[in-house]
Chain A
Amino acid sequence: MTAPGSESSGAGSIHHLHANQFDDLVPRALANVELRGALAKATNTIRNRRAIALEGIDDLQELRSRAKAIKTEALAHLDEHLETFERHATANGIKVHWAADAETARSIVLDIARMNKVELAVKAKSMVSEEIGLNDALIDAGVVPVETDLGEWIVQLAEEPPSHILAPAIHKRRREIRDLLARVLDRPMPDDAAGLTEVARNELRERFAQADLGISGANFLVAETGSFLLIENEGNIRLTTSLPRIHVAVAGIEKIVARLEDLGPLVRIITRSATGQPISCYQTLVTGPKTSLEDDGPEEIHLILLDNGRSKLLEDDLTAETLRCIRCSACLNVCPVYRQIGGHAYGSVYPGPIGAIFTPLIAGMHAASQLPGASSLCGACREVCPVDIDIPGVLLHLRHRAAEGDRSTGDRPMSDPRTMEKNRAMRRGFRLWRWAMGSSRRFQMFGAIGRLLATVVSRVPSLARHAGPLAGWTDGRAVPRSPGRSFRSGAVARRLRLEEQNPRR
């Protein structure tokens, strides 16, 4: 399943993208009471942990603006920093590759695997590798990719995509995971999280020992030293980058920072924003392959710099903000939409508010025109963003593009019949609204009709399903009880009117 239409104007592509099914996926997610329960509990927990972790920082706003400035400055001179990074990394013995699109990135990895006769690859969690569909490509080439992050391993066994940038199995309950492991490993499983984690440790140990290739992402690339930083809690990244003979890291070009000391503020804010820990368990700074005197470590390190549409976002200061993202996922946990529908409903490997802007910007509006609508524009995402990305601003900008098309790129999402119909219905609705609001008589008349409908629907709830264009609203919610009479006819309104007529001095 790929993005429909070769006409898609996004310069990049996202693997397994089916964001165009958003309208079908959402009701399914909303009907899944179990999922909504798990999500509410999980996102609340992380949200609170984050808030507590950030209380410990004396000057949070200063730290945020510093993190923002570091990323903004790096992006403003991205070309120079990438060249500097390449020069230093190469001098350190890292092989730097450039991939303009997902296909090139995949083929670079496959070439490395083929040349070294790799049969088994261990993988550390990497959003970019999901974006380019690396696992499917490896399988097609006869290489077995094994995810080693616990959550990622679970969703790989379940043959599902991750549903959260940071906690890929956040949508799964413990007993679901127990049953899954029991089925896949064909033996009884313990009930508790510690026992299940132990099973994963033992199962994956063997894979680490056998694999010839370790694949990871990278959190930050340091231009000045040609190093990259990997952040984690489990230790699977350390294993992935220590045990196999070859290490391949795939990183988006926006991961660059200019100086080594830029890592400090970013590390200080990323884990607090992500999981609410003061610091993650491990940060590993990789500067080169093992030296001849060392006993352990990879002999070869490859780093793939992936564009896949990112460089186009720099054309506009607003869309460029998206590239500041450090993938902490704080915006997911506070988003009233994500918290209800979860990650899978977005139909993109990048869900939540950041996914709703990143996905259409990379893959083109055609491929994801509904996602920018998946927001109430409450602004909670921007409020928690450690690098202050104007997510609501970009959402509005993209909604505008979805409605009007983008003349500069010729991307006309209006030609998608479904979006076209939706936009037409919306226009009709707002025209009617404007007319109804135009006089007090019409306003009163519409109020009366609304109260009548609410009364009827509250008696016969099944009628809500036939609410036409409003069904999208009524499906997941109870229709509010009718107040019986209008506010205007009540005592409060009468008093207010009197006060207006005889203002007290």
Chain B
Amino acid sequence: MSDDRSTILDSIRASLASAASSRTAGRPHGPPPAIAAPPLTSEVTVPAVHPGEPASIRAITEFQAALDRAQGVCHRVTSDAGAADALQAVIADLGVRRVARSDDQLVIEILERVIGGFELLPPDVDRALLLECGLGVSRATIGVVEYGTIVLSSGDAAGAEGLPTERQRLVSLLPETHVAILAATDLVDTWDAALAALRLDSRRLPPTATFATGPSRTADIELELVLGVHGPKNQHVILLEHR
């Protein structure tokens, strides 16, 4: 409603003006709070690790440790075949029958190496079927070393140049177990750096980007921690050290 728009903006301007004038005329509540605007180009420390650069062993081990603290599991592998083995093992351990996947190229390549023993659903699968699905495999756009966070972004970018972007967001959300494929070159040190990288590489932010740290959780009943509420109960990350 355009009417409300001008009402609100006018009210804000009138209030700000009246605060400014009472600041100069006697101060009823002492000196005004210092309005120290943070510097425009913030000194967000340039991340020691940039997406696209080889990650150090330190970054990899710290990511693994952080994800472990968040009750997630990090599988470190050094080849695509190793990634396929890790994925196969997770599927077998959980006894999952149906697996959903995103349309990311790396996800497809790794799944092609997995021997099988389960039904693989295509990315554009019917939602009802996805709700019944036990495990979803998708790509993590970025990994954050400090928290063990993975960034899941959806959009329509081809992914040829910038960060990988896939077109599904339910694959990582509906199944009880989510397995994310993360290339070590996509690790950054901090949450802030991941946010900056999201914009840096695609110029425009993706429609949705979720920063996910470990399995979903709640403590709403007597503050007792329960893993797996509405989001995944198990969060696995297969970290490709060779990529």
Contact B214 A235 (CB under 8 A): no
Q: How many cross-chain pairs have Cβ atoms below 8 Å apart between A and B?
A: 265
**Is A131 part of the binding interface, using a Cβ–Cβ cutoff of 8 Å?**
no
Q: Quick one: which of A151, A170, A209, A316 contacts B127, CB cutoff 8 A?
A: A209
Q: Across the interface, do A282 and B154 meet the contact criterion of CB distance under 8 Å?
A: no
Task: Chain B residues near A16: list those with CB within 8 A.
Answer: none
A264 touches B9 (CB 8 A): no
Find out whether the CB atom of A154 lies under 8 angstroms from the CB atom of B220. yes
Contact A234–B218 (Cβ < 8 Å): yes
Contacts of A260 in B (CB 8 A): 195-196, 199, 205
* Chain A proximity of B13: nearest CB distance (Å): 5
Tell which of A18-26, A66-74, A346-354, A418-426 binds the partner.
A66-74
Q: Does B53 interact with chain A (Cβ within 8 Å)?
A: no
Binds B, one of A75-83, A138-146, A484-492: A75-83
- Let me know if B16 and A78 touch, CB within 8 A: yes
Q: How far is the CA of A208 from the CA of B209 in the complex (A)?
A: 20
- 1/0 contact string of B206-224 vs chain A (CB within 8 Å): 1111111111111111111
The answer, yes or no, to whether B155 is at the interface (CB within 8 Å) is: yes
* Interface mask (A297-335 → B, CB under 8 Å = 1, otherwise 0): 100000001010001111111101100000000000000
Contact present for A225 and B199 (CB under 8 Å): yes
Given A69-B36, A150-B218, A236-B230, verify A292-B156 contact (CB < 8 Å).
yes
Please tell me if B170 contacts chain A, counting CB pairs below 8 Å.
Answer: yes
In the complex, whether A376 has a CB less than 8 A from a CB of chain B is no
Contacts of B220 in A (CB 8 A): 149-151, 154, 167-169
What residues of B have a CB within 8 angstroms of the CB of A66 in the complex? Answer: 38
Q: Which residues of B contact A284 (CB under 8 A)?
A: 208-211
B149: which of A208, A279, A286, A293 is its contact (CB, 8 Å)? Answer: A279
B1 & A70 in contact (Cβ 8 Å cutoff)? no
How distant is A255 from chain B, measured CB to nearest CB, in Å?
14
The answer to whether A235 and B35 touch (CB under 8 A), given A100-B7, A193-B224, A209-B127, is: no
Is the C-beta of A200 less than 8 angstroms from some C-beta in chain B?
A: yes
Determine whether B112 belongs to the interface, using a CB cutoff of 8 Å to chain A.
no
Q: By the criterion CB–CB under 8 Å, are B8 and A201 in contact? A: no
A397 with B167, Cβ < 8 A, contacts A167-B219, A275-B219 known: no
> Which residues of A are at the interface with B, using a C-beta cutoff of 8 A?
11, 38, 41-42, 45-46, 65-66, 69-70, 72-73, 76, 78-79, 82-83, 92, 97-100, 104, 108, 148-151, 154, 167-170, 172-174, 177, 193-194, 196-197, 200-201, 204-205, 208-209, 225, 227, 233-236, 238-239, 241-243, 253, 259-264, 267-268, 275, 278-297, 305, 307, 311-318, 320-321, 393, 397
Structural contact, A73 and B1, CB atoms closer than 8 A: no
Cβ–Cβ contact B231 & A238, under 8 A: yes
List chain A residues, Cβ under 8 A from B124. Answer: 295
- From A168, A281, A292, A313, B231 is in contact (CB under 8 Å) with A281
| A312 touching B15, Cβ below 8 Å | yes
Chain B interfacial residues counted at CB < 8 A: 78
Closest chain A CB from B235 CB (angstroms): 9
Are B211 and A283 neighbours in the complex by a CB distance under 8 Å?
yes
B192 at the interface (CB under 8 A from A): yes
User: Is residue B11 contacting chain A, with contact meaning CB distance below 8 A?
Assistant: yes
Segment among B17-25, B57-65, B86-94, B180-188 that sits at the interface with chain A: B17-25
User: How far, in whole Å, are A242 and B216 apart by their CA atoms in the complex?
Assistant: 16
| B211 surroundings in chain A (CB, below 8 A) | 279, 282-285
A280 to B147, CA, bound (A): 10
Residues of A within 8 A of B38 (CB): 66, 69-70, 73, 262
B161 interfacial contact with A, CB 8 Å: no
Cα distance, A417 to B242, chains bound together (Å) = 76
- What would be 24 A-B contacts, judged by CB atoms less than 8 Å apart? A69-B37, A69-B38, A78-B12, A79-B12, A108-B1, A150-B221, A151-B220, A194-B226, A233-B217, A234-B217, A235-B216, A259-B42, A260-B196, A262-B38, A264-B190, A275-B219, A281-B70, A281-B231, A282-B213, A285-B198, A285-B205, A287-B207, A315-B15, A316-B29
Using Cβ atoms and an 8 Å threshold, which residues of chain B touch A282?
210-213, 216, 231
Q: A287 to B208, Cβ gap below 8 A?
A: yes
Assess whether A296 is in contact with B195, with CB atoms less than 8 Å apart.
no
Instruction: Take A293-B167, A297-B154 as given contacts and tell me if A280 and B226 are in contact as well, using a CB distance cutoff of 8 Å.
Output: no
Q: Which residues of B contact A234 (CB under 8 A)?
A: 216-218, 229-231
The residue from A151, A200, A307, A314 contacting B16, defined by CB atoms under 8 A apart = A314
A437 to chain B, nearest CB (A): 29
CB distance from A101 to the nearest CB of B (A): 8
